[in-house]
A and B are shown apart, each in its own frame.
Chain A
Amino acid sequence: MPRYYFHTHNGSGSSFDEEGQELPDIHAARREALRGIRSIVSEEAQSGEVDLRGRLDVAGGDGGVLFTVQYDEAIQVRRREEARP
């Protein structure tokens, strides 16, 4: 199975994944990226402050970035409708 590396970048800096994970294919890598972002954001929600401006780069075995998932793509936020003027 190919190995994928998940590097996160957000307001508190960048975190590089040196270990990676063996996953069946790129679709599984995307699911893992979404799972990872949701895990981080869910804990932020508990602290009362969520920062959705981060991104997660998924790299392949040669180090090249295969695709990027923005944090706000991983979470759907529904808000109260803004009061109309």
Chain B
Amino acid sequence: MIERHLMKLRARDDLTDEEEQAIRSAVADVKEVSADQVYVRAGDPLTAATLLLDGIMCRAKDLRNGERQISELNVAGDFVDVHGFTLKQLDHNLITLTDCRVASVPHARLREITEAFPHLARLYWFGTNLDAAIHREWELSLGRRTAYARIAHLFCELRARLELVGLADGDGYDLAVTQGDIAECMGLTPVHVNRMLKQLREEGLVEFRDRRVAILDWEGLARAGEFDPSYLYLGRRPRED
């Protein structure tokens, strides 16, 4: 059930059997949530954290005129609002972009396991630091990359993150989001995204169609987006106790 989450943790560090058991036992309940729901609303008091098992969720903030900025896409295996453990409420909404399966981890259990296993506390701290690194990279995209490069970069990032949890390979991955969702990630409009997708397809780099990202030329796509995966800290490091 939480296999993808464990894959994500194990990609970078070792996990003992006791730690794995502690994480498994911290999961309180699992539910299905349909697409386009606000799952956690900004400002709502939080007593549990959300572990995404399947689907795509996002962090988003809205302006009064209806404009929305998505600040991160979350994929299966992500502890999507583990920052809420210390903040106790969010400053952004947590929204399902596709049908999702989510597990709830009560803050009380999270406190128990992080106190019993300091190594887990550090792994989850790493997780929030990783989110911050992703936000910085998106800031670079939104502030400085062209529309074309933003989209190329996003497709590269998602490939790397989904590959870590067994949901992507060199050919591509399933991505059931809309052009509108991509526009809200990258500060564009759906019409503009459509135009850039056409250019990326015609240049033989990537094709986004029928809810699938088909990677046609990985090297070329990475070059187009100036994708340097170092901000995703994909490397495995020896365990420190």
Contact = CB atoms under 8 A, between A and B. Distances in A.
Give the size category of B's interface with A: 10 to 19
Contact of A18 (B188, B192, B209): B209
B191 A19 contact: no
Given A6-B190, A32-B190, A40 B195 contact: yes
Contact of B198 (A6, A15, A21, A36): A15
A17 B147 contact: no
Interface string B184-197: 00001111101101
A15 B194 contact: yes
Contacts of A59: none
A38 B180 CA distance: 16
Q: Is the interface of B mostly helix, strand, loop or mixed?
A: helix
> Could you say which of B146, B147, B195, B198 has the most chain A C-beta atoms within 10 Å of its C-beta?
B195
A3 B191 CA distance: 14
**Which range holds the interface residue count of chain A?**
10 to 19
B104 interface: no
Given A15-B198, A18-B209, A40 B191 contact: yes
Nearest to A58: B191
Nearest to B195: A15
Contacts of A12: 199
A43 interface: yes
B209 A39 contact: no
Interface string B36-48: 0000000000000
Interface of A: 6, 8, 12-13, 15, 17-19, 21, 32-33, 35-40, 43, 56
- When A and B form their complex, which 10 residue pairs have the shortest distance between CB atoms, in order from nearest? A36-B191, A39-B189, A39-B192, A15-B198, A36-B189, A6-B191, A15-B195, A17-B194, A35-B189, A40-B192
